[in-house]
Amino acid sequence: MSLLVVGLSHRSAPVSVLERASLAAETQAKLLQDTLAAEPATEAAVLATCNRIELYADVDKFHAGVAELSTLLAQHSGVGLDELTPYLYVHYEDRAVHHLFSVACGLDSMVVGEGQILGQIKDALARGQELHTAGRLLNDLFQQALRVGKRAHSETGIDRAGQSLVSFGFQQLAAGADPALWAEGKRALVIGAGSMSSLAAATLARTGVAEIVVANRTRARADRLVEILQQGDDTAVRARAVEMSAVGDELTRADIVVSCTGSTGLVLTADALADALGVSLDAAPERPTATVTPAPDDVDQHAAWVENGSVASAAHAGPRTGPRRVTVPAQSTGPVRLALLDLAMPRDIDGAAHRIDGVRLVDIESLAEASADAPMAADVDRVRTIVSDEVAAFGAAQRAAHVAPTVVALRTMAADVVAGEIARLDGRLPDLDEKQRAEITQTVRRVVDKLLHAPTVRVKQLASEPGGAGYADALRELFDLDPQTVAAVSRADLNDPNRGRS
């Protein structure tokens, strides 16, 4: 196994860089195809979310692989390599496995413990399978990551340690109030009908808003989301769909706006928002940047981050000292007429909206700032233990799988030897009846099986341990196995259509 991941996330790069580096679906497909065409890579998968872009590959050369994957990320994101490089992190082999498993458990999420990342990992695997860029290693890796993430959520209270990004966003909009009481009776406009927008709409429906209006470029998807909202047994919300051209009119009636589209440009400009509220943007003063002083016991980060090429807990870094400059402008202290939640990357809503009196804007950047100081739950440590155990088990399984084709080839060779000897016996003793021939054949097979049992079982055990990759080579050398036979077994296993699919 030579697993390599090169990527950037909200923990390594500012939002402005993540916005520019975001990858559309068609760009992700091209990135995968180009990665597979590159010399060092034999498999590839891309995990692209609103706050991370990661390229996974099975490579035969580490340094060449890092250079090639970094260059490909820069080319397809449109961010120059020199500018992108300082924000990239690299993980290799077991550390790469540890990173993905941590991501799957929500330890590396902006809001620790959020479960939406599991769906995004599943989508990344499905894309790699559809494009035939995910082979045996990445199929096994991503399938296991999904199982580890589900285990973390079922065996620990990691769900209580954090919330979904949507729920956390509403909590920030409510500014300390109970989100359900804050949202009760309000009118909400949801722009977009993808997975994040659908989650936001469902969350709004459960909190008790009076009405939800869904706008989407594809009207059929907006209609479908409205239909789903109205079918919910636990809500009684009014819902309707509109064309994107009607957003301007709907803004004048909305109390809450949630936007998450795949647009590469702004969906809501500050001028459009000011017009909807009937105020002048030009007259609005620029608000200062807020300064936040961390609490004395603010030692633990909300999750793990990358440090010196590995994942380390914040406790290892020591406490933060002195005030920390928040990059988002201070919000208005007056009554909020329009609450805006921007969950898109790149952003949908003009950051200048913070200048409009009566507007409260929460976006990915402000969510990152708010979540950084959230308390860490004790269950996070339990999840980290699960991740460490699962990484060790995955490595052992991969190393054992590496020797399996050699073991199969050895048993195939032994079966061929038995068959040849029985055929020779038939020629020398043609008068043997069927019962005698069967008994002799069974006896010879038992002898061979007993002789091979201990070494084949032991070589699998040894190969599963760190540094055990050489045992397969030793087995091939000792029994003079044909390398082509071993390779044929490996190809048959790799081409199994049922492998790596759930």
Task: For residue 284, count other CB atoms closer than 10 A to its CB.
Answer: 18
Between CA 148 and CA 150 the distance in angstroms is 5
Residue among 32, 173, 52 at smallest CA distance from 108: 52
- Alpha helix ranges (H) inside 156-280: 158-161, 165-174, 179-183, 195-207, 219-231, 247-251, 270-277
Residue among 2, 136, 7, 6 at smallest CA distance from 61: 2
- Which 8-state DSSP code applies to residue 185? T
Q: How far is CA 366 from CA 10, 168, 287, 340, 468, in A?
A: 12, 11, 15, 12, 47
Q: Which residues of 77-108 are buried (b: 16+ CB within 10 A; e: fewer)?
A: bebeeeebeebbbbbbebbbbbbbbbbbbbbb
Q: Which residues of 289-298 are buried (b: 16+ CB within 10 A; e: fewer)?
A: eeeeeeeeeb
Structure tokens at 356: 């409009």
Between CA 45 and CA 142 the distance in angstroms is 9
Q: Which residue has the tokens 């790596």?
A: 500
- Which 8-state DSSP code applies to residue 465? S
Between CA 405 and CA 152 the distance in angstroms is 32
Between CA 23 and CA 53 the distance in angstroms is 8
| 260 is known as an active-site residue | no
Asked if 18 and 48 touch (Cβ cutoff 8 Å), the reply is: no
Cβ contacts of 107 within 8 Å, gap of 6 or more? 303, 304, 311, 380, 383, 384, 387
Asked if 72 and 31 touch (Cβ cutoff 8 Å), the reply is: yes
Task: For residue 19, count other CB atoms closer than 10 A to its CB.
Answer: 18
Beta bridge mates, 242? 215
Residue 483 burial by Cβ neighbours in a 10 Å radius (0-12, 13-18, 19+): exposed
Q: Three-class SS of residue 369?
A: helix
Residue 478 burial by Cβ neighbours in a 10 Å radius (0-12, 13-18, 19+): exposed
Q: What one-letter code names the amino acid at 453?
A: H
Q: Of these residues, 1, 44, 50, 73, which one is catalytic?
A: 50
Catalytic residue ranges: 50
